[in-house]
Amino acid sequence: MGSRALSFINLPVELVCDVLQLLSIRDLLQCNLVCKRLQKIINESSALQFTIELSRCRMVPNLTSELSFSARLRLLRDRENAWKTLNPTSRHQMKLAHSGTIYEFSGGVYGVGKESNHRTAYITFYDLPSSASGEQLSTTHHFPDVNVVDFTMDPTQDLLVLVALNSDSSHMYNLHLRKLSTNEPHPSAPAPILPCHERRLGLDTPDNAVQIQIFGDAIGILVKESLLSLRAHFEIFKWRNVFPNSCQVKSLVGIDDFSFLSDDHFLLAQPNGMLDVYSFAGSISDENNPVYRASYELPALSPAYSFWYISLSSNPIPGYSGHAGEGEQKAYHCSPTNRIHACCLYVYQPSLPDGDTVYPFVFFFHPQALLNYQHHLKMSSTRPDLDQYLRRKGINKVHIHDEDDDDVPSSSNLNDTGLPSPDTEPSSPHSGHHSSGSFVLFDGTSSELLDFFTPQATNPGSSSMLFDVSPTSSEHMLSPGCQTPALPVPWEAWGPPNTRWFRGSLSQDWQRSVYGLRSVDCVVDRAALDSFKRGDARLNQHSETDQNDSEADTEHDSGSESDEDGFVDVNEIPFTEGDIERQLGCTVTLPKFVRVRDFNPYSVSKALDELPPDASPLPNQTRSSPKLRSPVDRERAGFVAEMVRDRGGHKRVVTEATTMNVRNVFMEDVSSSLPYVETISKDDFNVNEAMMDDCRILLVKRDKGRNSKGIIILDM
């Protein structure tokens, strides 16, 4: 009796699905094109569709989720649709027991400290998912014997890190490692207290600015010394390791900020406008850690201007694995390796007597743009105008890193789905070509799975950024790793194809306003601004926020009128007082729309498909400003154009390269090309700022002292 071979196609559907689930996402999408039977199986399998949708949204699954695949798929699609339309599934008001100037928002937990006698006496932690049910669960931890100056937390590890000042120690600070749930020493930490920043007699003061971040089993802390901002100390601890468990970078010229590009690379922003990439691996306390890899230039400033401050931020941090609060279903979370970074630049004119002339900008970039530093450095070393470039920089001798291919960071070889990164053959940065593969739309049709532009360098023109990479530069950066200065990567080689620029605002807190591949901020309702200019006393009465807020907004009951154009020169605004209202010359809290920008290539592709047939993607255009009388007025309008919008419910797709008029702050106007989708909410809210995570938006109302008065939560 003859036997017939059983083909894969004829296996039971359950077995076929089990096999397909083992494939990479790219192979799975290709299988959809093989035959109708495989296409039907893939389209009707909740597990396979959930895998595909996660890849499109640049998410990763929560392996401990108990939800069925059909429930996970429905949750993902509903939430992504809510983000796309900015139509939240629910909204509720969260009342705070107290306000404070230090706060943290991570993993569905919002913590805010309460100051007493110039120290943080206690911190209250609110479980945000519980507030949707009306319970609003919270926990308060007191610190009677610890002088807390800052804190951070990771709910996924039940970890709370307190930064405390030392008064009788050889180190300036102690990092206290505690359980977030109980305030007890964390059992996974061999040492519950980590000393940081060795004290130097006569040079250290207790009013240093401190920034801290947790990323998995490591903690990064930056101490920016107040003494003329000329010194800085950056240190990384592996908090689960026994001593010695840290490496550090000390700088005599200062460090403005830091951000982790991956789980083994970090980025330092220098005051002279240079972004430095470092790596660390193996034993954290090895004398070769961290290793200096490359420097990236920012656009060249005009001679009269200087960088005042540079801020870096991105969320979620590497190592984040999601957190399910009370009553929250966590089926997936944003990929820590596929996220957008924000860089805020504050530029000023030091020659002016008041010193308050600040021009804010913000640009967004994907970390892969900086992790491909070997390619950038090799391309820069072969540029035709290299000799002229070196002479203009004052460089007599320079060393170009030429590392082996097997030393490329692992994050540059694989993306978060485990797929090889696109080819890195040189191409024009403005060609508009993406790396692509097939994927399946909801209806089973085939399209392109767009990815970010492959970071590449062409033969750029000359850059006039004044950066000294003579041996004195390496003396300023006293890191124990590579000390040989490398030729910096010019802005023209990496910036225009891999970034998107906007004029900034002194009120935006980008550290909490970027999450995954999205950013959120607030823009003023122009009708509200016009009402204020007309002296309308009922300005705030129509806002939904005020109707639900039982606290009276009494701090804005008096003030002077703005100028007749409704704008105030940003030069007159001290940074410490920065908010949108002050920059616009208003004395009340204006209603604002919520604006979300999505840099996910798939979101851009879908938005383009949904455009009407006669529509086209738009450049970064804004409403024309009122007729202005003088160059000063035109300067004012230029820096508030991004803060004001005519209406809500607006959406646009921006795919073309745009050139921003920088008002002569930089040597040339800045071009950028990173595609995005912008959505503005239909409703307005009487709030000061917005924050976000993967499934909610927090709208914060603050008083004159910048303390939180209340928070509106929009659940997506």
Taking only the tens place, the pLDDT of each residue in 303-360 is: 989 998 899 988 886 555 555 544 456 788 888 788 999 999 988 887 766 555 788 8
Q: Are residues 55 and 168 in the same domain?
A: no
User: 95 in a domain, yes or no?
Assistant: no
User: 443 in a domain, yes or no?
Assistant: no
Q: Are residues 139 and 271 in the same domain?
A: no
DSSP 234: E
Q: Are residues 196 and 271 in the same domain?
A: no
Q: Of 487, 506, 525, which residue constitutes the final position of a domain? A: 506
pLDDT band for 136, please (50, 70, 90 cuts): confident
Q: Could you tell me which of 705, 354, 340 has the C-alpha nearest to residue 519?
A: 340
pLDDT band for 63, please (50, 70, 90 cuts): confident
Q: Are residues 354 and 384 in the same domain?
A: yes
User: 38 in a domain, yes or no?
Assistant: yes
Q: Are residues 461 and 551 in the same domain?
A: no
Q: Are residues 378 and 485 in the same domain?
A: yes
pLDDT band for 389, please (50, 70, 90 cuts): low
Q: Are residues 294 and 188 in the same domain?
A: no
Q: Which two tokens stand for residue 434?
A: 């993406």
Task: Find residue 653's DSSP bridge partners.
Answer: 677
For the packed helices 46-56 and 69-85, what is the interaxial angle rounded to 10 degrees? 30
What is the total count of domains within the chain? 4
Q: Are residues 547 and 689 in the same domain?
A: yes
Higher pLDDT residue, 364 or 216?
A: 364
Q: Which two tokens stand for residue 366?
A: 């994907």
Distance CA 522, CA 501 (A): 17
Q: Of 61, 85, 109, which residue constitutes the final position of a domain? A: 85
Q: What is the largest CA-CA distance in the chain?
A: 100
User: 26 in a domain, yes or no?
Assistant: yes
pLDDT band for 48, please (50, 70, 90 cuts): very high
Q: Are residues 486 and 549 in the same domain?
A: no
pLDDT band for 542, please (50, 70, 90 cuts): very low
User: 338 in a domain, yes or no?
Assistant: no
Span 280-290, average pLDDT: 86
Span 631-646, average pLDDT: 54
User: 334 in a domain, yes or no?
Assistant: no
Q: Are residues 42 and 123 in the same domain?
A: no
User: 460 in a domain, yes or no?
Assistant: yes
CB atoms within 10 A of CB 114: 17
Strands (E), 128-285: 138-142, 148-154, 159-165, 171-179, 193-198, 209-215, 218-224, 232-238, 246-251, 257-262, 265-269, 274-279
pLDDT band for 192, please (50, 70, 90 cuts): very high
Q: Are residues 367 and 403 in the same domain?
A: yes
- Category of 366 on φ-ψ map: left (φ > 0), alpha (ψ -120 to 50) or beta: beta
Q: Of 54, 85, 116, which residue constitutes the final position of a domain? A: 85
Host domain of residue 149: 100-207
Q: Are residues 294 and 382 in the same domain?
A: yes
User: 49 in a domain, yes or no?
Assistant: yes
